[in-house]
Structure 1
Amino acid sequence: MSQPGPTAHADAAPSAPESDAHLLRAHAEQAFAAELAALAAQDDALRPPSWRLSPGAVVTYLLGGTLPDGTVVTPKYVGPRRLVEVAVATLATDRALLLLGVPGTAKTWVSEHLAAAVSGDSTLLVQGTAGTPEEAVRYGWNYARLIAEGPSAAALVPSPVMVAMREGKVARIEELTRIPSDVQDALITVLSEKSLPVPELGTEVQAVRGFTVIATANDRDRGVNELSSALRRRFSTVVLPLPATAEEEVSIVVQRVEQLGASLELPPVPDAVEEIRRVVTVFRELRGGRTEDGRTTLKQPSGTLSTAEAISVVVNGIALATHFGDGVLRAADTAAGVVGAVVRDPVADRVAWSEYLEAVVREREGWAHFYRAGREAAG
């Protein structure tokens, strides 16, 4: 699930260490340090080499549960348990893990929390873009030292992947299919031979046991920089789905909004569930091309309308209600965000939104305020 507010949640904002309290967004291993410590203290199952927790404890950390001493582990991801078990089992083998799905399905969120639970470090990250150089995957050089001293170990600048290999940790690669194909292929030797040659120094870095890679990719990026068959064979792919039901998605949004609101120091908003449910309903109907009752077919907008975007719309609405309203989340606070998420193509999407307003929203009982706000926001 790279956008703010992934498709995952915690039951309450975790208590971060006091030294991290000033951070806008703590890393998973910082924010959930107490839970990770409690899991490690009570985890007597077999742990793969270099792992901080056993595979079973990693699954508990992701999906939540209550430990024998009564410690409550908050769920970080809402989805099929078997998918999480397959992902964790993959990390315990010599294969890398590819998390695939549409935008907003918590790929980045799951990747971060898996790395935090397995390695205690989620920061060994390569952000994939069209301009990602090979040095981001292999290594670079401190050119001042390189010119002054020539190639040396001191002049070499290791990539996050190289650091993970040396330390037996998890390296994360975001948006793998956005990376140019020739840079992607630099991973083949790393994943197959578990080594990274450094010909300038006549040496290599061999991976310590525990090293692995978690990559993420959007399935809508197919055709951008397709993975070669040689590279794809090195990954086990787990597809993360959108929430199966409206209630599941509402639960995710409610809990994640609470967590983000706490980190942004926004006051709790009373009775926000009704408006959250409305936003989720709009997103689910438009991205599915059909109303909840199945009676009306709808034009689908060009955007993804993911759960992550729903979370962002609601958080923005809460900020509006807090700073420019009476502190109660209303349709007028969320309508502009909904329109902004829906109308990406100013021509086709505007038509889809207008037809949805007139054919569905206008006729729906209790939605009159949202109908007026939606029309006003669309201009």
Structure 2
Amino acid sequence: MTAVERDDDATHEVQAPPPERVYAEELAFLARLDRGPRPPGWALTPRAVVLFVCGSRGGALELPKDVDAPSEVPRSLVIAEKLVGDRALVERSVVTLAGERGLLLVGEPGTAKSMLSELLAAAISGSSGMVVQGTAGTTEEHLRYGWNYALLLAKGPHREALVPSPVLAAMRAGALVRIEEVTRCLPEVQDALVSILSDRRLSVPELGRLEHARPGFNVIATANLRDRGVSEMSAALKRRFNFEQVPPIAVLEHEIALVKRRAVATLARVGEPLRVDDAVLEALVTAFRDLRAGRTVEGWSVDRPSTVMSTAEAVGVASALGLSAAYLDADRDPASLLPSHLLGVVLKDEPRDRGKLLAYWDSAVKRRAESGSARLWKQLYELRALLEEPA
């Protein structure tokens, strides 16, 4: 396979293949490794799902000798860590889904809620593609069903004219469906999920029938904490979900490793190495964490900008630094580009937050530069002029 994944029919390339394709080997291996009990309709055991998401911690796993496997399935395999975070969060999420309760993942933007929902769907159902993207324009049809109006006018209401939503398709297949940004949907649209989650069936009055969910069907929804006020969920819908908060990565080293891994993968897709020093990546992630928390690792207070300084944004900046080196000027020091990229992130929500980034430079960055502990911070402080508003 080339650096850019190809679609199944090999007729076109795709930029972001789904996890069930990226990790197909791991999923096939895990399906044979753990032969314990599986909830109805699940492709893997709950233990194997957790292992798929959290990884084998660098150790190779071995298939038992009495397990037959096709030649394309390895007998030994290291399961990659895909989500940096609390294993207990993943375990609770898996138990929620095994108990046929809806799962709602909440957290700040950029904390990998969508990625976790994709990984869970890929491991449990073998497909992460049944998804509804919640927006203010999402209608009830997106969660229930619509109609092929040409067939409807020609023959009247009948089963062939019904166009199933991803939710109804998942009910029929006994699979997980993902509802992204559920609180961006209008309340009356959200409430279409209440009866589906309660009764596990969907009424189609035009056909005088009920669509029943097959074993394995469930719903994973995501919501950003900053979007709670967009369309508050009703109490009835909240009761149908178990809430799990996905926090930012707690350990600096873990976040640096994740940012580097994702940036390396981005550059690999264009056939280039990541030409950004580890010291620059550490400074980048440190600055993001300082501004996100409103407090530096040393304990100094700093003003938090309005925008969320998420790990996803840090990955974007690290990738941009690598792409600049690959495409524009390989000899240019990536550290010289870092202040401008940070400014671009900070100004996304509030232009006046330029002052907060300058204040961060005049406090935390300056104090680190003066301490002499790291030459890079002195270099960054000397680039302060890049942050000032053009005359």
Q: TM-score w.r.t. structure 1 length? A: 0.91
Contact 2:4 2:14 in 1 (8 A): no
Aligned to 1:177: 183
Number of residue pairs matched by the alignment:
365
Change beyond 3 A, Cα 1:267–1:333: farther
Q: Secondary structure at the match of 2:177?
A: strand
- Please give the alpha-carbon distance, in whole angstroms, between the structure 1 residues aligned to 2:38 and 2:246: 25
- Please give the alpha-carbon distance, in whole angstroms, between the structure 1 residues aligned to 2:217 and 2:385: 53
Deviations 1:190-232 (A, max 9, x none): 0000000000011111000110000001111122111111111
- Once the two structures are superposed, the pairs formed by residues 137-148 of structure 1 within 5 Å of their partners are 137-148=143-154
Contact 1:100 1:218 in 2 (8 A): yes
Aligned to 2:45: 54
- Please give the alpha-carbon distance, in whole angstroms, between the structure 1 residues aligned to 2:52 and 2:109: 23
Q: Which amino acid aligns with 1:172?
A: R
| TM superposition shift of 1:269 | 2.3
Does residue 67 in structure 1 map to residue 61 in structure 2? yes
- Once the two structures are superposed, the pairs formed by residues 262-341 of structure 1 within 5 Å of their partners are 262-263=268-269, 265-270=270-275, 272-294=277-299, 296-326=300-330, 330-341=334-345
| TM superposition shift of 1:266 | 4.5
1:159 to 162, 165, 181: 165
Contact 2:267 2:274 in 1 (8 A): no
Change beyond 3 A, Cα 1:194–1:374: farther
Does residue 362 in structure 1 map to residue 372 in structure 2? no
Aligned to 1:241: 247
Aligned to 1:5: none
Aligned to 1:6: none
Contact 2:306 2:353 in 1 (8 A): yes
Deviations 1:147-183 (A, max 9, x none): 2221111111000000000010000000011110000
Q: Which amino acid aligns with 1:274?
A: A
| TM superposition shift of 1:372 | 4.1
Larger mean CA deviation between 328-337 and 27-36 belongs to 328-337
| TM superposition shift of 1:291 | 2.0
Aligned to 1:99: 105
- Please give the alpha-carbon distance, in whole angstroms, between the structure 1 residues aligned to 2:241 and 2:3: 33
Rg larger for: 2
Q: Secondary structure at the match of 1:201?
A: coil
Q: Which amino acid aligns with 2:43?
A: R
Contact 2:104 2:243 in 1 (8 A): yes
Contact 2:186 2:231 in 1 (8 A): yes
Q: Which amino acid aligns with 1:288?
A: A
| TM superposition shift of 1:360 | 2.3
Aligned to 2:192: 186
Structure 2: 5+ residue stretches without partners: 63-74, 370-374
Q: Secondary structure at the match of 1:249?
A: helix
Q: Secondary structure at the match of 2:172?
A: helix
Larger mean CA deviation between 15-24 and 189-198 belongs to 15-24
Deviations 1:83-127 (A, max 9, x none): 100000111112111111111110000000100000001000000
Larger mean CA deviation between 311-320 and 251-260 belongs to 251-260
Q: Secondary structure at the match of 2:193?
A: helix
Aligned to 2:70: none
| TM superposition shift of 1:18 | 8.1
Structure 1: 5+ residue stretches without partners: 1-12
Q: Which amino acid aligns with 2:328?
A: F
Aligned to 1:10: none
Aligned to 2:65: none
Contact 1:119 1:170 in 2 (8 A): yes
Deviations 1:281-314 (A, max 9, x none): 11111111122211x3211100000001000011
- Please give the alpha-carbon distance, in whole angstroms, between the structure 1 residues aligned to 2:7 and 2:170: 28
| TM superposition shift of 1:22 | 2.8
Q: TM-score w.r.t. structure 2 length? A: 0.89
- Please give the alpha-carbon distance, in whole angstroms, between the structure 1 residues aligned to 2:185 and 2:311: 25
- Please give the alpha-carbon distance, in whole angstroms, between the structure 1 residues aligned to 2:353 and 2:271: 32
- Please give the alpha-carbon distance, in whole angstroms, between the structure 2 residues aligned to 1:163 and 1:174: 16
Quick one: higher RCO (CA 8 Å, sep 6+), 1 or 2?
1
